[in-house]
Amino acid sequence: MKTSKDKKALEILKILKQLYPDATCSLTYNSPVQLLVATILSAQCTDERVNKVTPELFAKFPDAESFANADREVLETLIRSTGFYRNKAKNIQGACRKIVEDFNGNVPQTMEELLLLPGVARKTANVVLAHAFNINAGVTVDTHVKRLSQRLGLTKAIDPVKIEKDLMALLPQKDWENFSIRIIYHGRQICKARKPNCQECQLAFLCPFNG
């Protein structure tokens, strides 16, 4: 039996699909490993900045083996502008070494295996599974998804894993990534962190934050 919160979540999803029919992952990549690397780089960094860095990065290191064998200083220099570059370089290289050693150079296609890779938590794994393999294993919870889900009254949780669990219970599995990617677009364009544009928001009538 659907609750009022279930119905609200489905209504929000319907409106988001209408508002952003062509929404897709905004990271630029040509393979699962490139998407994995780009997603790791996107932590605490805009996708726009990542997309400025990755053409040169992927030209030099096109696959898991080349990242695994990369000179760490060269890798750090190429990704410096994304922030936290030393830790990101360490995680990228560690993840790619494990991919080469344990997965025959191929990015694994299950949540359980992806979580074994250094620097990969559920957010990164969800992005890779959804956009590289068309597998909806969960809901990607970034800062936009967290903020809007709380404002819209879909969750009271603070922890991203608990937020994801709440959203997974409210939405059909086939739409888990649909919801996430579109609500990210809405967070960027309308429901911004410091100054949400409630007057222009087509979800306002469903939103307790607007009241």
115 and 151 together in one domain: no
Query: Who's near 124: CB < 8 A, 6+ residues apart?
Result: 36, 39, 40, 114
Domain count, the chain: 2
Active site (annotated) includes residue 123: yes
CA-derived radius of gyration, the chain:
18
- Percent of residues, the chain, with pLDDT higher than 70: 99
The CATH number of whichever domain residue 75 belongs to comes to: 1.10.340.30
Active site (annotated) includes residue 52: no
Boundary of a domain, candidates 101, 133, 165 = 133
65 and 128 together in one domain: yes
Q: Map residue 176 onto helix, strand or coil.
A: helix
Give the pLDDT mean for 1-29.
Answer: 93
17: tokens are 């699909």
> How does pLDDT run across 86-106, given as a tens digit for each residue?
999 999 999 999 999 999 999
Give the pLDDT mean for 148-158.
Answer: 97
- At residue 128, the pLDDT reads 98
Q: Which entry of 123, 146, 166, 175 is annotated as an active-site residue?
A: 123
Give the pLDDT mean for 8-36.
Answer: 97
3 band by pLDDT with thresholds 50, 70 and 90: confident
> How does pLDDT run across 25-80, given as a tens digit for each residue?
999 999 999 999 999 999 999 999 999 999 999 999 999 999 999 999 999 999 99
152 and 201 together in one domain: yes
82 and 160 together in one domain: no
Domain extent, residue 205, equals 4-23+138-210
128 and 159 together in one domain: no
101 and 81 together in one domain: yes
- At residue 20, the pLDDT reads 97
40 and 112 together in one domain: yes
The rounded mean pLDDT for the chain is 96
Contact 62, 158 (CB under 8 A): no
pLDDT at 211 exceeding the cut of 70: no
164 band by pLDDT with thresholds 50, 70 and 90: very high
The CATH number of whichever domain residue 164 belongs to comes to: 1.10.1670.10
97 and 162 together in one domain: no
2 band by pLDDT with thresholds 50, 70 and 90: low
Give the closest residue to 19 by CA, choosing from 132, 188, 193. 188
- At residue 1, the pLDDT reads 56
175 and 204 together in one domain: yes
Boundary of a domain, candidates 76, 105, 133 = 133
Boundary of a domain, candidates 133, 155, 180 = 133
11: tokens are 């209504």
Contact 163, 142 (CB under 8 A): no
Name the DSSP class of 162: H
